[in-house]
Structure 1
């Protein structure tokens, strides 16, 4: 049944509702939610603004607007997030891929393209913390001779990342493993055979999580955020365990919090196997990635 709302008037109602909350971009979110409900693009909304909308779509749109007003992440509602030029399916239970993490991917790709592993027929990679598969799948998409062992402790990330691997046609270049850190890898014969260990581990100090924006603190998985008392717990664990797996010219690459560069670099420098370390800044000039090189 056709309702009283046109595309334009319904969009304005959504903007008004979102504008009542503590939120900064009601126009964009209302547009994206309406496109999602109607299964159209933005151009359609602009060029059909006077079209009447069926009541069922009106109700669905307003329900999603109310959900978003409560700061439920837009990416979970839409079921997707773009990352490294690829479209990833996401749902509640996985960390939403962020642009900051692209700095990590770009740096690893740069190292490979500069010939650091030029003698390798296959570049073996371990990704600790699968999440949506954004890191693992971006690496095997852009590094054609890469194979990734991707590990996560939770069921939902393994499920979501497997869906993304299927969608991207990359299932033959990745193996997903469920378990805690390196434990699922111990019987695979990978000791001293891994060229790159990469991770965006939980790095928020426990006490700071409640102060994050509501979308993150209330809806994203705490397991993917909580880095212990000082935020460095997983950097210590992964660094220690990585020594058993890295090849003679292997590298360890981390995403870090903006104020953790020196501390994480020190963790790597204290291990004799890393001959040099590097801190990479993001576009805002903040420390974002730390690399340890064995060669």
Structure 2
């Protein structure tokens, strides 16, 4: 029988040969997920033998990762805002950068709203990471989670159910504001939040293979200049927001000026940009 230590060594060697930059970490992530354990378990029980079934599943995962499939798709798991989310191919993987966006909403809620119910719209919910995170950390809120893809909503609902916030989130299938129009909810939202596709079309092909070859292009491609969805959402957003309410976007590191102009042109005030932990522009907000 093969031990945990031996399996990790061999798996790391295989991923290193495939030029996977996080070979050792990915081998560990794969194995502790297969074992239903935490990472520390691998260090505490390095000489523990691994069953043949687990070995087979491990090597199946290693082969996928060697082809640069994201480890999150292989283990169907990604952490966001301290919460575990189910992810799979076809669904954008939540990033740590997007946590800044959620944290900014939490700041606005804490500083701007009384304990009454806050109504939030999450445009392009994907895995539901933003919607679920907000529903989990804001007691008095409802969230409208919108996506154009049925499978994205299926996964988002699964994550909401897992974190026991499904009763606080309404899921809408459709393109941008179209499904909300049918609800006649004009002027009723306190916050609209979105991490839209914002990568220029011409740049997609230059991204790392684990992104361009596996993550859904529709969740990445923001049109010729990367600004298509900022224009579309901002143009319509004020119809759905109350007075003195907020629109928040995640932005690319070099989009501060362009998106600020879009918000200003559409009548938003108090436009501010906030940086991520790497010191890059990452979140922009505007008030009605």
Q: 1:59: which partner in 2?
A: 56
Once the two structures are superposed, what CA deviation does each residue of 1:30-74 show, in whole Å capped at 9, x if it has no partner? 111112223333333223322333322222211111111111111
| Residues in 1 aligned to 2:23 and 2:157: alpha-carbon distance in whole angstroms | 33
1:103, CA displacement in angstroms?
0.7
Q: 1:255: which partner in 2?
A: 250
Q: 1:276 to 1:51 in 2, by over 3 A?
A: closer
Q: Which of 155, 162, 166 is the aligned partner of 2:157? A: 162
1:117 aligns to 2:117 (yes or no): no
1:144 aligns to 2:135 (yes or no): no
After TM superposition, the structure 1 = structure 2 runs for residues 3-42 of structure 1, keeping only pairs within 5 Å, are 3=1, 5-42=2-39
Q: 1:81: which partner in 2?
A: 78
1:164, CA displacement in angstroms?
0.6
Once the two structures are superposed, what CA deviation does each residue of 1:147-172 show, in whole Å capped at 9, x if it has no partner? 11110000111000000111111011
1:108, CA displacement in angstroms?
1.1
| Residues in 1 aligned to 2:34 and 2:103: alpha-carbon distance in whole angstroms | 34
After TM superposition, the structure 1 = structure 2 runs for residues 212-291 of structure 1, keeping only pairs within 5 Å, are 212-272=207-267, 274-291=268-285
1:204 aligns to 2:199 (yes or no): yes
Q: Which of 86, 104, 108 is the aligned partner of 2:105? A: 108
Q: Contact conserved, 1:205 with 1:231, CA < 8 A, in 2?
A: yes
1:136, CA displacement in angstroms?
0.8
Unmatched tracts of structure 1, length 5 or more: none
1:228, CA displacement in angstroms?
0.3
1:105, CA displacement in angstroms?
0.7
Q: Contact conserved, 1:269 with 1:276, CA < 8 A, in 2?
A: no
| Residues in 2 aligned to 1:235 and 1:6: alpha-carbon distance in whole angstroms | 51
| Residues in 2 aligned to 1:141 and 1:162: alpha-carbon distance in whole angstroms | 14
| Residues in 2 aligned to 1:170 and 1:202: alpha-carbon distance in whole angstroms | 26
Once the two structures are superposed, what CA deviation does each residue of 1:93-150 show, in whole Å capped at 9, x if it has no partner? 1111101001111111101111x233x7211111110111011111111111111111
Q: 1:188: which partner in 2?
A: 183
Q: Contact conserved, 1:37 with 1:61, CA < 8 A, in 2?
A: yes
Q: 1:43 to 1:188 in 2, by over 3 A?
A: same
Unmatched tracts of structure 2, length 5 or more: none
CA RMSD of aligned residues (A): 1.3
